[in-house]
Amino acid sequence: MSFDIDVLFKIAAIGIAIALLNQILNKAGREEEAMMTTLAGVIIVLAIIIKMISEFFDTVKVFLEF
């Protein structure tokens, strides 16, 4: 994962999109699907974050001969 700012914007976009979808699905009367999409969004963002954390820890290990 690259360490520049657009990852932050990507996560923000995912968050807003998920919130939007949630509202639409709730209004359409499908609460279960709304909860599913929220869960999916959270999992996607967690996957991105965990990949970044592992890559960051590798760079720290390499830089500081940890």
Partner 1 sequence: MTALVKICLIGITAIIIIALIKIYNPEFTVEVTLCASIIMLYFIVENLKYGFDFISEIYGGLTYGREYFPVILKVLGIAYITEFASAICQDAGEKSIAGKIELAGKVAIFFAALPVFVSLLDLLDNLI
43 near partner 1 (CB under 8 A): no
By the rule CB under 8 A, 65 interacts with partner 1: yes
Question: Radius of gyration of the chain from Cα atoms?
Answer: 16
Q: Applying CB under 8 A, does 24 fall inside the site for partner 1? A: no
Q: Which residues bind partner 1 (CB under 8 A)?
A: 3-5, 7-9, 11-12, 14-16, 18-20, 41-42, 45-46, 48-49, 52-53, 56-57, 59-61, 63-66
